[in-house]
Amino acid sequence: MSDTISAPLPLRSVRVTDPFWSREMDLIRTAVIPYQWDALNDRIPGAAPSWWAHNMRAAARAIAVKKVGGGYAPVQQNCGFVISPEEGKPPMEDGFYGFVFQDSDGYKWLEAVAYQLMVKPDAALQKQAQEAVDLIRAAQEEDGYLNTYYSLTGRDRAFTNLKDHHELYCFGHLTEAAVAWKQATGKDDLLDVARRFGRCIFKRFGPDGERGCPGHEIAEMALYRLYEETGETEWKELAQRFLDVRGTDPSTFALEENRRLKKEGKKELPVTAERYRYYQAHKPVRDMDEAVGHAVRQMYLASGMADEARLTGNEAMRAACERLWRSTVHEKMYVTGGVGGTHVGEAFSRPYDLPSDTAYSETCAAIGLAFFARRMLQLRPKAEYADVMERALYNTVLSGMALDGKSFFYVNPLEVDPAACETDERLSHVKPVRQKWFGCACCPPNIARIVSSLGQYIATQSEDALYIHLYIGSEIKATLNGREITLKLDADLRKGSARLTVLSGEGSGTLAFRVPAWADNTRVSVSGAQATACADGYWLVSGHWQAGDSVEMAFDISVQAVAASPLVRETMHQVCYTWGPWVYCAEEADNGKNLHLLRACPEKKAEAQFRDMEIDGLTVPALTVPGKRVTVPDSAPLYAPWHQPETEETKITLIPYFAWNNRGKGEMRVWLEAE
Amino acid sequence: MSDTISAPLPLRSVRVTDPFWSREMDLIRTAVIPYQWDALNDRIPGAAPSWWAHNMRAAARAIAVKKVGGGYAPVQQNCGFVISPEEGKPPMEDGFYGFVFQDSDGYKWLEAVAYQLMVKPDAALQKQAQEAVDLIRAAQEEDGYLNTYYSLTGRDRAFTNLKDHHELYCFGHLTEAAVAWKQATGKDDLLDVARRFGRCIFKRFGPDGERGCPGHEIAEMALYRLYEETGETEWKELAQRFLDVRGTDPSTFALEENRRLKKEGKKELPVTAERYRYYQAHKPVRDMDEAVGHAVRQMYLASGMADEARLTGNEAMRAACERLWRSTVHEKMYVTGGVGGTHVGEAFSRPYDLPSDTAYSETCAAIGLAFFARRMLQLRPKAEYADVMERALYNTVLSGMALDGKSFFYVNPLEVDPAACETDERLSHVKPVRQKWFGCACCPPNIARIVSSLGQYIATQSEDALYIHLYIGSEIKATLNGREITLKLDADLRKGSARLTVLSGEGSGTLAFRVPAWADNTRVSVSGAQATACADGYWLVSGHWQAGDSVEMAFDISVQAVAASPLVRETMHQVCYTWGPWVYCAEEADNGKNLHLLRACPEKKAEAQFRDMEIDGLTVPALTVPGKRVTVPDSAPLYAPWHQPETEETKITLIPYFAWNNRGKGEMRVWLEAE
């Protein structure tokens, strides 16, 4: 199996030239990163405070006091899941505030900065990031432990609530940031912080330690990354240990709950794992077959599992990943690449339960799906993985952020009526406009880190092959059988062409082109190549390549009308439109109110017409499609003898989903009633 | 206007002979009333305790102690909205348990018993009811106050939280029961209890007292009823006072909240009424134009308002009633006659928001709608009022109770998937099977009292006219221009005929027949009458009537396919079937799982065929209609190019909605996808 394994290229080896994505990446650097730095420092007027820098500074002071033997005692605070200053009082200088996992916000920001620095050096930005790194270093305890919540509210309680208190989650994000920072700057400072914390965790929960695993996964994939970066096997062992302990009896989550209950003199719980489905800790990971519980956690766990399958060749783990993939993608994914059908627990719902208006579809969960998809691609290049990764990246990941990079969606519904969201508690999780920042601000910095590292999603390489997964214009430095070769990827979706041209260097091997699900009649023309063959949805072109050589893929691309499986109740009789990787939606700004009265005519999809539309300074390819509008007679009775409703011809204007809600508040629908 | 006003006949004057409804009424007498007596006495194994008799006895003891000067001090209990015995401990003999409004359960039961006694004397039942009456009398305080919650937890707090604590609601139900008991037995005992409590309330909140009004309405209509029974004008004045105070500034609900906040040293609230929309106390009642907030309360308030409009001739009040009617019936009513589109607050949602699966549609709210409709009919006989009253009675009111009278629905959804209800918190209010009893048991005794008093819904009479509203076989003793006349109403919907025959007596006047919305081509044939004319949906036949005379209405009746207004998003592309007053639904028992895959063919409604189906001993007129079933290909992808789905021909079996869920747990749908 190992011959199917590939790896992303180093971020420095992929220079994105595509105008759309370059703009997104620039936006992250010029708008999002500075904005988020202000947010981490609580300097955004009117936005919920992050408390990140506050907590780090407070912890650093506390630790400094401890180091000089000052007899530091934590400030007395209520130890809830989220802590706010007492009403009417200013925050205490030495108090912890925000969610228990607040440390992770800054780590994610640092990771995004590191990616940006790899793409484009920036001394001022690096200096700012170094400040953050130094602050983090100062907040680390002598034994390597690093978590401002526990340092400030009672270190003695550390590691007693892995299920809910996210210490290992914060460790995971720290590690991701540390590896990125090392790769960007060559500096070991943050990496050493992560390793020291890692060794502290290894000592406690490693193969010879206490059984334990993260309540919110990410440490698994972060540890594999740390292992790949450093070659130190302890990180692989710790990741494996977390995966092995997870979902086995007696449940470590139950055991830690019971220790607390016992202390309080309360009745203890049964210690069977099955109760922890929400945490994906209900059965051994290798037995899992359904994506369940909190969607982000499930995607992060699956990503770590795919890393293990790749790095250990464990077949049972690979099979479990494939089952989780099928469950996610074939039963529980929105057409926009979003996952998480219910706001109750921000979770996966039952199969085929994909409501449009009450959707959760958290931005972070789509990011998690892209992580999972990329890791499945690394295991084996199969076009379906890339199709899904692309769907998530181009639609739900981007819709999480306004076109100006200054406001964000946590929840990405497929149907919005602002009047309903604003008055109906059943929709209280659905915001009709993007928010500046969130108290629980997982999504904004997560967008920053994935968009900044886009280069790692475009292509992967194995010893003798370069796989092109996304058709995003770029310059790629690859290695084919040990020889470095620089290629240029051009793609013009409107024209239906993509081309790889060798700019410099030479080498022998395979250039592989994904056949996207949205392309028809793909054909490959090659100058000087041996043969072409298609496997798992990739055209494989083998040859010896040198400067001036090029391979061109041509394809037919057209506007698609898409139907969901009839098992999805919500979208019966409905249709949505896609073009290439983009999913389209109708907005009130173009189509007026009561979008549910629109009826699309999918049989006339060939009549769809593009027109450039400028939205907040960005030109997007809008579509007009033929349709009808149900007319509502004056004083229509609520119930009347059945008849086909009266309609009038209309043109329906659609815009790419990612660009919705950049023209003020209004209705939006992805799925339209079909004629 | 007064010439349009009519009144229900005394219950003793209407003997229901219709086999279907006789069975329902018998079921209430033989099954429901005994069952509920056991429930009130906490003798149903496995059901939530009612605590009614317990609380009454505890209060009676407390009052007896006070009367002999025993220095009674209330038991210390938490004073929440619902009180349960401390975990692991038996209930305290002198403690109050259950919801604050628990007293009302027994009053409703007594009211139902009284109606049954009017229909059919029953010495044993009357003796049992007398026990309840005596218990209530014993629980009344010396000054007339009667509420076990406050008597047992602190009388000094009485009347300090009219908004939430339902004292005036309990008074309303007491009064309804007392009038019914008086009418049934001629006894004044319970009526005197109600009057004494009423005078206690009048003293406090009457025209010269403190401003105040009920948080949960019913006292208004109960007081008008007490006024009509006794002729004592103070009850009319008190009802008017409640209506006049409601929704005016400064809000009495805000004032009472502020008194509590002040005592606790907390910041007081603004005293504007607009915040109390949930309680229909957001604006003066005569200005109301939309049905809002808690649905049962809104219906009870509207009923009281209609009583005032009728009894005072107040035009502004009548106009407000008509606006509330329009809002309820033309924008917010389910096709089943249910109201309350959202479980959040058991409330009316925004116009046209009528979700099928998350519907609340509380049984009590449909009962309230029938109350309101009957009162609108009394104001003016207009077929629409009767159509809606009938829709509610025949469908949602009855669906609230199992065919054996032993289990009940609080919530009446129009679409149920048990697997979803059982796993999805968003549907936690929707029970896939009827429950034995509820902690908050408003619905079961409410069904008992409305079904037992069905005779009051069939017809109303004015000085010179008898209006037939419901085609339910019965014998009616009416008075036409002062002369008593006994008539027999026969109806055979299948044959399309209804007939009024004079059995005895004679008199001059108008016999009026409602033209139901579900009947076509109605025509009236008369023996020896002067003329016929149709007004407001009633055929009016005037003449001198004597034994042997008869008027016959013939009509066409057929299975109807019904569509909702296109403004209702939830039912786009959907159709439901009705026949006469019955709304039909598809059940899994007849049609298999995945009812959303069925497609009805409304254009072929003429092919609908009746067949008798026996469900739990009752023969119901089932229907089969031509339809299709969408076939789900093996391994269908979640998203695919749009195409009309593959279907196969099928017959869809439908049963009347009221009879659903009497054959075990399964899917159900009222609205079917339309071909």
Residues 6 or more apart in contact with residue B106 via CB below 8 angstroms: B40, B52, B53, B56, B132, B136
Q: What is the pLDDT of residue A406?
A: 86
> Is the pLDDT at A1 greater than 50, yes or no?
no
The distance from CA B270 to its chain's CA centroid, rounded to whole angstroms, is 35
Helix (H/G/I), strand (E/B), else coil: B310: helix
Cross-strand bridge partners of residue B564 = A639
CATH match for A459-557 among 2.60.40, 3.30.70, 3.90.580, 1.10.3470:
2.60.40
Say if residue A351 is preceded by a cis peptide, omega within 30 of 0: no
Give the least confident one: A538-552, A561-575, B81-95: B81-95
Q: Is A256 left (phi over 0), alpha (psi -120 to 50) or beta?
A: alpha
Check B308, B346, B362, B570 and give the catalytic one.
Answer: B346
Cross-strand bridge partners of residue A540 = A512, A533
Interface of A with B in 422-461 (CB under 8 A): 423-426
Question: Is A387 in CB contact (< 8 Å) with chain B?
Answer: no
Which DSSP symbol is given to A566?
A: T
Query: pLDDT tens-digit profile of B568-611?
Result: 999 999 999 999 999 999 999 999 999 999 999 999 999 999 99
Across the interface, of B333, B602, B640, the residue whose CB is closest to A642 is B602
Q: Do A561 and B641 touch (CB under 8 A)?
A: yes
Residues 6 or more apart in contact with residue B186 via CB below 8 angstroms: none
- Per domain, the residue ranges of chain B are 284-453, 455-557, 560-674
Q: How far apart are CA A293 and CA A417, in angstroms?
A: 27
Across the interface, of B335, B358, B639, the residue whose CB is closest to A335 is B639
Q: What is the pLDDT of residue B437?
A: 66
- As given in the structure block, the two tokens for residue B198 are 């009423």
Question: Is A420 in CB contact (< 8 Å) with chain B?
Answer: yes
Q: How far apart are CA B620 and CA B530, in angstroms?
A: 40
Q: Do B565 and A330 touch (CB under 8 A)?
A: no
Q: How far apart are CA B95 and CA B73, in angstroms?
A: 11
Cross-strand bridge partners of residue B347 = B294, B342
Closest CA to B561 of B606, B516, B599: B606
Q: How far apart are CA A562 and CA B641, in angstroms?
A: 5
Q: Which residues of B touch A420 (CB under 8 A)?
A: 350, 353
Q: Which residue has the higher pLDDT, A123 or A77?
A: A123
Query: pLDDT tens-digit profile of A610-623?
Result: 999 999 999 999 99
Question: Is B258 in CB contact (< 8 Å) with chain A?
Answer: no
Does residue A675 carry a catalytic annotation? no
Q: Which amino acid is at A115?
A: Y
Most A CBs within 10 Å, among B629, B638, B643, B647, to test the A interface = B638
Across the interface, of A426, A562, A566, the residue whose CB is closest to B342 is A426
| A–B CB contacts, 8 A cutoff, strictly below | 125
> Is the pLDDT at B475 greater than 80, yes or no?
yes
Q: What is the mean pLDDT of chain A?
A: 94
Residues 6 or more apart in contact with residue A82 via CB below 8 angstroms: A98, A99, A100, A439, A440
Q: Which residues of A touch B292 (CB under 8 A)?
A: none
Place of tokens 């207004």: B565
Q: What is the pLDDT of residue A532?
A: 67
Helices B103-119 and B443-452: crossing angle in degrees, nearest 10, is 20
Read off the pLDDT of each residue in A23-47 and give the average, rounded to a whole number: 92
Interface of B with A in 311-370 (CB under 8 A): 329-331, 333, 335, 342-344, 349-350, 353, 358
**ipTM of predicted complex:** 0.93
Q: Which residues of B touch A598 (CB under 8 A)?
A: none
Domain over B455-557 is classified CATH 2.60.40: no
Helix (H/G/I), strand (E/B), else coil: A79: coil
Read off the pLDDT of each residue in A435-455 and give the average, rounded to a whole number: 85
> Is the pLDDT at B76 greater than 60, yes or no?
no
Question: Is B634 in CB contact (< 8 Å) with chain A?
Answer: no
Q: What is the pLDDT of residue B1?
A: 37
Query: pLDDT tens-digit profile of A337-379?
Result: 999 999 999 999 999 999 999 999 999 999 999 999 999 999 9
Helix (H/G/I), strand (E/B), else coil: B494: coil
> Is the pLDDT at A486 greater than 50, yes or no?
yes
The shortest C-alpha distance from A336 to chain B (Å) reads 11
Closest CA to B103 of B449, B442, B405: B442
**Percent of chain B's residues with pLDDT above 70:** 96
Question: Is A594 in CB contact (< 8 Å) with chain B?
Answer: yes
**Percent of chain A's residues with pLDDT above 70:** 96
Which DSSP symbol is given to A63?
A: H
> Is the pLDDT at B80 greater than 80, yes or no?
no
Question: Is A419 in CB contact (< 8 Å) with chain B?
Answer: yes
**Percent of chain B's residues with pLDDT above 90:** 86
Cβ count near B296 (within 10 Å):
27
Question: Is B640 in CB contact (< 8 Å) with chain A?
Answer: yes
Q: What is the pLDDT of residue B74?
A: 62
Q: What is the pLDDT of residue A64?
A: 87
Q: Which residues of B touch A639 (CB under 8 A)?
A: 335, 562-565
Q: Which residues of B touch A333 (CB under 8 A)?
A: 638
Q: Which residues of B touch A641 (CB under 8 A)?
A: 560-563
> Is the pLDDT at A106 greater than 50, yes or no?
yes
Element (H or E) spanning A619, and its range? strand A618-630
Q: Which amino acid is at A158?
A: A
Q: What is the mean pLDDT of chain B?
A: 94
Question: Is B619 in CB contact (< 8 Å) with chain A?
Answer: no
**Percent of chain A's residues with pLDDT above 90:** 86
Check A213, A421, A442, A585 and give the catalytic one.
Answer: A442
> Is the pLDDT at B552 greater than 50, yes or no?
yes
pLDDT-based confidence at residue A529 (cuts at 50, 70, 90): low
pTM above 0.80, yes or no: yes
pLDDT-based confidence at residue B425 (cuts at 50, 70, 90): confident
Check A24, A217, A308, A346 and give the catalytic one.
Answer: A346
pLDDT-based confidence at residue B669 (cuts at 50, 70, 90): very high
Q: Do A564 and B350 touch (CB under 8 A)?
A: no
Does residue B585 carry a catalytic annotation? no
Q: How far apart are CA A280 and CA A292, in angstroms?
A: 7
> Is the pLDDT at A90 greater than 90, yes or no?
no
Query: pLDDT tens-digit profile of A394-442?
Result: 999 999 999 999 889 999 999 999 999 988 888 989 999 998 766 667 7
Closest CA to A366 of A336, A338, A329, A335: A338
The distance from CA A1 to its chain's CA centroid, rounded to whole angstroms, is 27
Which DSSP symbol is given to B393?
A: I
